[in-house]
Structure 1
Amino acid sequence: MDPKLILIILMLGSMLFMLFLAFSGPSATRAMDRRLSAVTSRHGGADADMEQRMRKAVASRSTAKQSQILVSLIPNPENLTKRLRMTGKKWTLSQYAGACALVMIAVIGIGLFRGWAPLTALFVGTASGLILPHKYVGRLITKRVKKFTMTFPDALELMVRGLRSGLPIAETLQTVSTELPGPVGEEFRLVTERIRIGKTMDQALAETAERLGTAEFQFFCITLTIQRETGGNLAETLANLATVLRQRAQMKLKINAMSSESKASAYIIGSLPFIVFGLISWINFHYMESFYTPDPNGLFGLSLMQLVGIGGMCWMGIGVFIMAQMINFEI
């Protein structure tokens, strides 16, 4: 049998095995036990609540021990854990590492199947395994933060109506967590849960502001802090803040509309050479084979085409960076 075919089969088998290990969920028995314990904690009194908290503490301790294994493989796991939480998904470090390995193995297998040199396939596969999952997570974070920012003024107006009707601030936070869906309800639900377990409102809001990283929620935290120290009508202050945030969102939409043509040009100019290069390499690899073949007599072991390609990528990177800065406005 062809050694290349054997290598591809082994890579596919490893990919399926890692997929099973990374994304295999808990058993049905454990899920049923967790649901029963949750129901018992809601209706079983203080003892059941204490038992549920102890189970959560043990589970978090075991999860931390499992995450320590990945410290030697993943740089800065605390930052990566924070990014995964910002997506709103219940992903773990092991699942993220498994997805990176799957992407890397898939790209290496495709490259070897297309006749790439092993070193080139390894380099491209490693770069894809590190960059593509990172970009996907960043896209999910941007999408969730954007959705939160769009719905956040509605949450403030709901809080204003609750405060004017006589409800305390803690009850208005609880109302927002139950009435509004999506990221806003989820984040306010986490705030109310932190307050319920003994943290102050400032600590709960500070943790949410650190995880979201949006200026809108930081404005909200600063408003509550200043109002608590100086006094005043909190309902009127939050109503004014909601108006400011809506105007801020409208200004962002106007800027995006005015700069959409420049963004489209930057995307086309920046991505077209890479798309054409990838298509030519896929259709006629022998035509581009000299680009993947190193030259021992060249500079740093690189051929002339490789040096020209690196220079062109540098100049394109500078041009794209300048265009991005020209259409980047701080509001």
Structure 2
Amino acid sequence: MDGNFLLLMVLLMTLLGMAAMAISGPSASKATRRRVGLIRARHSGSHEAILEARMRKAISNRDTGTELKMLTSLVPNPENLTKRLRATGKKWTLNNYMLTCAGLALTLCAIMFIREYPPLLAVMISLAVGLGVPHMWVGRLIAKRVQKFTAKFPDALELMTRGLRSGLPIAETLGVIASEIPGPVGEEFKLITERIKIGKSMDQAMQETADRLDTPEFQFFVISLTIQRETGGNLAETLANLATVLRQRSQMKLKIRAMSSESKASAYIIGVLPFLVFGLISYINYDYMSPFYTPDPAGLFGLSLMQLIGIGGMCWMAIGAFIMAQMINFEI
């Protein structure tokens, strides 16, 4: 018991230290001087001051490599994880993500130690939750943002088509999309225009956005621009046809979602029902469900027979949910 208490205190102290590091930021004096410099550059009318402000913004947005320290050194492929964080549209860094994972794992581990669970089991479950839950949450944010981008992207192509037919150059139409289309589409096209202003070519700016979004719709758009630049042709007509194709793809996805909605609802009800009944019975008659909450030191990994049966049932339910999800996942 003394060893468990000492380990619990070490975990709590580590958690408090990580929370302090996450909350603490740069010094107030440096932040104040930086803001004053940006305000002066913004309100200065000289060309040199405007160019300097753009370069400062570009430098502040680049990767400095200072975030790849501490917990981030444990990540096997930090470039892919950084790309996923950027795809969410949030200003999250790799350090923030790893601190969140470690804090969640340490909190759950401390709670399980207080409940006197076996140390090996507590560490394994804490690591699984600490690494799995943030990964799933980031994936959910990426999917939601990509969905919003895909829904508004045909409108951006039609706006770009009208601008090209009215005689505007393609760079001006990109600026119009950035200012007129709300949501992720406007944000991404604004980043494209900013990259072009600081000296990058249009192909480089487009490809960086395509790599971050990783959607076939935007890849089609980049390929169309590349082919038109190499072979010539009516770009407005090409983009109009592309917008029509993307709308048809979106309609087909909506039809598939509508046809599979009944099966999804049934799967959600069947999947939630065992946990709901388990929680209600535990609340009504805790003594009857106490074997599920009481560890057995003589059992496998310190688990009782009821706990092993419950874990096995959850594994089979996870396999069934994965199979059903693959059955309604269609590539269009």
TM-score, normalised relative to structure 1: 0.84
Aligned to 1:22: 22
Aligned to 1:106: 107
Q: Distance in 1 between matches of 2:312 and 2:147?
A: 36
Q: Distance in 1 between matches of 2:35 and 2:190?
A: 19
Deviation of 1:48 (Å): 6.5
Aligned to 2:47: 45
RMSD across aligned positions (CA): 3.3
Aligned to 1:176: 177
Aligned to 2:83: 82
Aligned to 2:291: 287
User: Could you tell me whether the CA contact under 8 Å between 1:107 and 1:125 is conserved in 2?
Assistant: yes
Q: Do the aligned partners of residues 170 and 212 (structure 1) sit closer, same or farther apart at CA in structure 2, a change above 3 Å counting?
A: same
Deviation of 1:273 (Å): 4.4
Q: Do the aligned partners of residues 98 and 293 (structure 1) sit closer, same or farther apart at CA in structure 2, a change above 3 Å counting?
A: same
Amino acid at match of 1:194: R
Q: Distance in 2 between matches of 1:307 and 1:108?
A: 19
Q: Distance in 2 between matches of 1:88 and 1:215?
A: 18
User: Could you tell me whether the CA contact under 8 Å between 1:104 and 1:129 is conserved in 2?
Assistant: yes
User: Could you tell me whether the CA contact under 8 Å between 1:37 and 1:52 is conserved in 2?
Assistant: no
User: Could you tell me whether the CA contact under 8 Å between 1:41 and 1:49 is conserved in 2?
Assistant: no
Aligned to 2:193: 192
TM-score, normalised relative to structure 2: 0.84
Q: Distance in 2 between matches of 1:83 and 1:39?
A: 32
Q: Do the aligned partners of residues 236 and 68 (structure 1) sit closer, same or farther apart at CA in structure 2, a change above 3 Å counting?
A: same
Amino acid at match of 1:240: N
5+ residue gaps, structure 2, are none
Q: How does 1:1-331 map to 2 (within 5 A)?
A: 11-12=11-12, 14-42=14-42, 43=44, 44-46=46-48, 49-50=51-52, 53=55, 57=59, 60=62, 63-273=64-274, 286-289=290-293, 292-293=295-296, 295=298, 308-309=309-310, 311-331=312-332
Q: Distance in 1 between matches of 2:302 and 2:6?
A: 31
Q: Distance in 2 between matches of 1:272 and 1:92?
A: 38
Residue range with higher mean Cα deviation, 41-50 or 193-202: 41-50
Deviation of 1:234 (Å): 1.4
Q: Any idea what SS the aligned residue of 1:67 has?
A: coil
5+ residue gaps, structure 1, are none
How many residues are matched? 327
Q: Distance in 1 between matches of 2:189 and 2:79?
A: 23
